[in-house]
Amino acid sequence: MSEPSPHTIGLSASSLLLFRGERCLLNGLALHVAPGQGLVLRGPNGTGKTTLLRVLCGLTLPEEGDVLWNGMAIREQRTEWQRALGWSGHKAGLKSELTVRENLAFAAALSGRSSGEIPAELGLAECLDLPTRVLSAGQQRRSSLARVLLGNSLIWVLDEPYTNLDTQGRGYLNACLDTHLAAGGIAVIASHGNAHSALGMTEKTLLNGVLQ
């Protein structure tokens, strides 16, 4: 098998087409994020940012087009893709009967590492030993985010990651993103605010199904 060209290394999407009912959310959309780069998706609510993130993760299938990881469609390399991906979305994706600490330890074990210490900046100290089913929506979101930040995934896809974070938490998230990108990682996030602005990531606005 030939090596991918420099133009295909990383996360790409080509000719993505997706409808919700009669509404076109993605209309021939294309993107490419190389190792060490971050992409911030902007745009009003309802324009399809979350849908695009789910398509990039392989959780929602487009009617047309492909998502590529290092030049190969993710549907053709599911195992490798799942190992590379760290995803935090609107749904926490946590096991409800396990505590936060147990969920993070479980996620760590899946990635072949120990869970280690959970930073206070994540704001989870008071709920680490509570089952996630009793947590508030904000606590569940922070727990889901912690699972990505404390992992070793090559690609972080984060939907509104600054939600429910205080100043300290936003600073910690930015430090993690900075370290991740400096090490050659990739980040794609959707964000309404400007908490990420110091990181110098590329910003694109999703309008009428395309990135502008």
In the numeric block, the tokens 């110098």 are attached to: 200
Which class for 32: exposed (0-12), middle (13-18), buried (19 or more C-beta within 10 A)?
Answer: middle
Domain boundary assignment for the chain: 34-52+82-204
Topology of the domain comprising 34-52+82-204: Rossmann fold (3.40.50)
How confident is the model over 110-137, as pLDDT tens digits?
A: 776 666 788 888 889 999 999 999 998 8
pLDDT single digits (tens) 24-36: 999 999 999 999 9
pTM summary value: 0.91
